[in-house]
Amino acid sequence: MTYTIGLLGLGTVGTGTAKILLDPTRRHPILKDVKIGRVGVRNPDKKRDVAISQDILTADLKSIVTDGDIDIVVELIGGVEPARSLILEAIANGKHVVTANKAVISRHGDEIYTAAREKGVYVMLEAAVAGGIPIVQPLKTALGANRIHAVTGIVNGTTNYILTRMQAEGASFDDVLADAQRLGYAEADPTADVDGLDAADKVAILASIAFGGRIKLEDIHCEGIRQVDAADITYADRLGFTIRLLAIARRENCDNFTDSDDRLQVRVHPTLVPNPHPLASVRGVDNAILVEADPLGRVMFLGPGAGEGATASAVVADIANIIAILQTETEPILHPLLSCAHQHYCTIAPVEELVTRFYARFLTRDESGVIGELGTCFGRHGVSLESIVQIGMRDDRAEITIVTHDVLEGNFRAAIAEIRNFEAIADIPSILRVL
């Protein structure tokens, strides 16, 4: 039996997907049963890098999601609208959906999965997180016997590329960003990447799958990399750390598992990662996701987080999974491992209640007693210091860095608020968390 795909979007990922589906030789035999029925594009007359017949191209995307001949709608247009409406309409018309769209799932996953469950169709999203890296299916299936403690990822290639080059070249964020834009590694509007919003979308999806509950995007604490200075990268390096933008989803209480009252930490921020940690060695545009699980222990997934072939690999794997189910199941009962059943919202701990280590850099007057004042203030707020070092002078100011032990974020912030008012303090250019 042949299954017919309605492809929405023929950009980078859509083109990669079409290329795989049009050339199934030596891939999984199930892909021979797939036909691209119609393709929705903005401009059907544009010259394409893939052998798609002009006859099946249309600018009327709505006509694809309502087409009775289409079995699976593959949504690769990105963005929130019209993607959300098209996905909902496809579901309402009984179509299975494969999407690479993290923005629409992280914001509207609740209504999309509620509709899919009611209609008995699948919405698969392997490509929405970390491009070609298989992480959604492993969390749903291969890791299902485990209690997940944490999922920690480098899930944005653009920022990892920028941080890697800043470290290698001692260059500033602005210079590397401009070069990355010139080379096509960063978007003309880099906001979603450099401000951590893309990573927040992805960690919302990862946390939801790993911990079996819905996540409100607005509960995720999110900081980007604009404030990471070349000086911090240099000092971090001297202290034995590499700065990476981490997306972290962690269960707070891993000793006493109950089915309720579990709080999660879900956050995105630049982080000093100890150099021996596996995430510190992830360079360039690569993505990586470290899963800490019981009884498995630590397992890391590493690979290309974007790109035509890599992301299309994940899209087509989802198509193949759906077809495998359609071929083998006669009853329209959703596969319990591949469908989404949870409906409750996870409780996300406020960031002030996070216990973590901090790095901070201060520019101060170069006079006696400043380090003592800093140490005393931190001590008053219950913030224990692991190191405090005056590195040298910058712009006629003494430059001092501190690294704390594990402390309550709220206590650290209270100390910093007090320190900002010290006469000797000119500036606190950087505050970063330490893994």
Interface with ligand HSE (CB under 6 A):
156-158, 193, 198, 305-306
Phi/psi-derived region of residue 131, left when phi > 0, alpha when psi is between -120 and 50, beta in every other case: left
Judged by CB, which is closer to ligand HSE: 126, or 198? 198
Report which residue type is found at 114. T
Shortest Å, Cβ 308 to ligand HSE: 12
Shortest Å, Cβ 73 to ligand HSE: 20
Shortest Å, Cβ 159 to ligand HSE: 7
Q: Which sign does the torsion angle of CA 236, 240, 245, 247 carry?
A: negative
Judged by CB, which is closer to ligand HSE: 245, or 272? 245
Judged by CB, which is closer to ligand HSE: 57, or 314? 314
Judged by CB, which is closer to ligand HSE: 314, or 360? 314
Shortest Å, Cβ 327 to ligand HSE: 31
Which residues are registered as beta bridge partners of 292? Answer: 150, 298
Given the structure tokens 């077809």, which residue do they identify? 323
Judged by CB, which is closer to ligand HSE: 156, or 242? 156
The residues assigned a catalytic role are 202
Judged by CB, which is closer to ligand HSE: 57, or 155? 155
DSSP assignment string, 31-54: GGGEEEEEEE-S-TTS--SS---G
Judged by CB, which is closer to ligand HSE: 37, or 157? 157
List all residues 6 or more positions away from 44 whose beta carbon is below 8 Å from its beta carbon. Answer: 54, 57, 58, 59
Q: Which residues of 349-376 are buried (b: 16+ CB within 10 A; e: fewer)?
A: bebeebebbbbbbbbbeeeeebbeebee
Residue 430 three-state SS: strand
Sheet bearing 123-124, strands edge to edge: 57-58, 34-40, 3-8, 72-75, 96-99, 123-124
Given the structure tokens 């939801």, which residue do they identify? 208
Shortest Å, Cβ 193 to ligand HSE: 5
List all residues 6 or more positions away from 87 whose beta carbon is below 8 Å from its beta carbon. Answer: 65, 73, 75, 97, 99, 101, 104, 112, 123
Judged by CB, which is closer to ligand HSE: 199, or 425? 199
432, 232 in Cβ contact below 8 A?
Answer: yes
- CB 377: neighbour CB atoms within 10 A? 16
Shortest Å, Cβ 127 to ligand HSE: 9
Strands 241-251 and 263-274: antiparallel
Enclosing H/E stretch for 273: strand 263-274
Q: Which one-letter DSSP state was computed for residue 382?
A: T
- For 9, the token pair is 């979007």
CA distance 258 to 214: 17
